Amino acid sequence: MTTPPPPAGIAGPSTARQYNAHQDGKSAYEEDRAVARRLRDLGLDTKLMADQNRAFVLRAVDHTARDLGIDQVLDIGCGLPADSGPNVHTLVEEVHPDARIVYVDHDPLVRLHADALLHGHTATTTFVEADLRDPDAILDAAHQALDFSRPIGLLLGAVAHFIRDEEQPHALVSQLVDALPPGSALVLSHATDDYAPQVIRRAEALLADVGVQSRARSRTTIEQFFTGLHLVEPGLVPVHQWRQPDAEIAAVPPSEVHEYGAVAIKPAPAGESDAELLGDRAYLSSRQEEGVLIVTVSGMVEDREHPPLRDRLNALVDESTKDVVLDLQGVTFLVPAGLGFVLGLRLELEEDGRRLHLLGGEPVHKLLRITGAKVPLHDDLAQALAAAQGKRWRR
């Protein structure tokens, strides 16, 4: 049976349909499959490349939701829904039932599919027809659906390599990242020409012939998308090797996948808040308010950050004579030893006739659930401060 031609109004080149064709999907048209076959004739295993990019995106999104506690995602260049397996919104909703997702794509066919897929999800998941080249329009729409006072996951899966150098892809991504609050995560994958530059140049020329501009880049150039951010381990690596649980897949030569990917966290603006850098990825700031010491920690507290956090907190607490408020709401990852220290500090203060008033986001709540520790957490800073001052809190 032959595939029907594209409906009127959506014919022409489509990166979303071609990506679907690389995965042998059901939503591509014959013209898209023909392009996929021509790319494979160049020696590129486009199905492997597309499959491994999608697998990376799903692992990275799961990490941001489950481990970093992020329940909002801005997915730019989302493409057509998957024929099988989870989509981004269903994956995040498994961890955060009230998650808010904004899908963005410039392809009208993607909108048609999204409208059908998201029926019944309109309260929490929306679709915006826009282009990465117009970040102002994307941010305007995102502000209508997402809470920009809390961390957001910015997902750019296999999309930035469709932006030509003269269109300033790094500046476009930077504008988006700059608009996000601290603790947000950038998930980005990008095609590379590191392994077979001549083949990749021929592939780019082939795509240009059918109206699709693309530009694979070196690892060094791709890494510049993460400037000013803190890369999550293992850093910028071939997509099929990023936190890959399957050793056989991880052993596939990167020269067969031709794509890098990474996740990075936006730190607190140290210059604006006088925050101290702890290790590589965490920030601490402190202030006194009506005699109460308020300590705020943000970023990722891993093994390298735990010792300086412990030492700095001990020093600050020793200098104080009253209750202490410890705000961990901006912490996107907390090593278990870090929680152990906080619980021990709480007991030490109680022995001294003082109290530790704790605020925490999802990483803290998660560790408390795992350990079974019963620690009261305040709902917000105003409540914690009132309690530390011996006042009765009234909403």
Tens digits of residue pLDDT in 149-159:
888 999 999 99
> Which regions of the chain are under pLDDT 50?
1-3, 8, 270-273, 392-395
Q: Which domains does the chain have, with CATH numbers?
A: 15-265 (3.40.50.150), 270-388 (3.30.750.24)
- Predicted pLDDT of residue 121: 58
- Predicted pLDDT of residue 395: 37
- The helix-helix angle for 306-319 and 336-351 (nearest 10°) equals 20
* Residues 293-304: tens digit of each pLDDT: 888 888 888 887
User: What is the distance between the alpha carbons of residues 206 and 392, in angstroms, rounded to a whole number?
Assistant: 70
Which residues have a Cβ under 8 Å from the Cβ of 166 and sit 6 or more positions away? Answer: none
- Predicted pLDDT of residue 261: 98
- Are the C-beta atoms of residues 216 and 161 closer than 8 Å to each other? yes
- Predicted pLDDT of residue 368: 84
Mean pLDDT, rounded, of the chain: 85
- Predicted pLDDT of residue 300: 80
User: What is the distance between the alpha carbons of residues 333 and 339, in angstroms, rounded to a whole number?
Assistant: 11
User: What is the distance between the alpha carbons of residues 68 and 61, in angstroms, rounded to a whole number?
Assistant: 10
- The helix-helix angle for 362-371 and 336-351 (nearest 10°) equals 80
- Predicted pLDDT of residue 78: 81
DSSP for residue 231: E
- Predicted pLDDT of residue 55: 95
In 3-state terms the chain splits into helix, strand, coil percentages (rounded to 5) of 45, 20, 35
- Predicted pLDDT of residue 84: 67
